[in-house]
């Protein structure tokens, strides 16, 4: 058994030493290749400078010729009649036009002052309470449980309570404007 332990140790040591020597030799080889490549590049640049000395390039613009070209372009543009221009008509099958014209829902979060402002909008109150199981939220409006709360105040209202209202604030209130129905809601989250 000792024999195999010794053989294995010697084999491992040989592999380690061999890998170390190989990496050192390879590093030296790569440094030499890089140095030769850099020298060849610099020699090519120096030869190019010697063969073609840098000269200044002068550009001359004929102002009379430029003025004639501008006049021709102006005539070409003024020669177009209004009857030649086709009226642009958007494609009726584009689904994005329908989405812009008929928004399904849109909500805006308000400050308390904006909610209390007498702007002619209907003001409603929705209370969020924990359900019987303690986990499922129940939405109550005018002492009646409602099921259409998502259409009224948005499906992200629970997430937004946790991201917009500090946890130690009681009662937790968000003011939401439904931009489709033009109704403002005071949403209160009751914590047991």
Per residue in 6-17, pLDDT (tens digit) is: 878 787 888 788
pLDDT number for residue 57: 47
Please write the tens of the pLDDT for every residue from 127-162.
988 888 877 889 999 999 999 998 889 888 888 888
pLDDT number for residue 33: 85
pTM, to two decimals: 0.46
Average pLDDT of every residue of the chain: 77
pLDDT number for residue 141: 93
pLDDT number for residue 124: 93
* Sign (positive or negative) of CA dihedral 125, 128, 131, 136: positive
**CA trace torsion 67, 70, 71, 74 (10° rounding):** -160
Q: Shortest CA distance to 186 belongs to which of 117, 129, 115, 122? A: 115
Residue 47: HSE in the Cβ half-sphere, 13 Å Cα cutoff: 6
């Amino acid at each position: 058994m000792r024999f195999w332990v010794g053989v294995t140790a010697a084999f491992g040591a040989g592999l380690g030493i061999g890998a170390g020597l190989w990496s050192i030799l390879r590093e030296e080889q790569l440094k030499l290749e890089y140095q030769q490549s850099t020298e060849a590049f610099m020699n090519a640049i120096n030869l190019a400078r010697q063969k073609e000395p840098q000269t200044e390039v002068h550009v001359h613009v004929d102002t009379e010729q430029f003025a004639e070209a501008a006049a021709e372009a102006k005539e070409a543009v003024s020669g177009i009649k209004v009857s030649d221009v086709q009226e642009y008509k958007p494609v009726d099958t584009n689904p994005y036009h329908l989405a812009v014209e008929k928004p399904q829902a849109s909500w805006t979060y308000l400050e308390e002052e904006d909610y209390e402002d007498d702007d002619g909008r209907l003001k409603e109150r929705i209370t969020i309470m924990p359900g019987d199981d303690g986990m499922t939220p129940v939405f109550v409006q005018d002492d009646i449980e409602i099921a259409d709360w998502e259409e009224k105040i948005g499906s992200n209202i629970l997430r937004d309570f946790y991201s917009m209202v500090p946890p130690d604030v009681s009662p937790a209130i968000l003011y939401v404007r439904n931009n489709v129905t033009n109704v403002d809601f005071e949403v209160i989250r009751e914590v047991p």
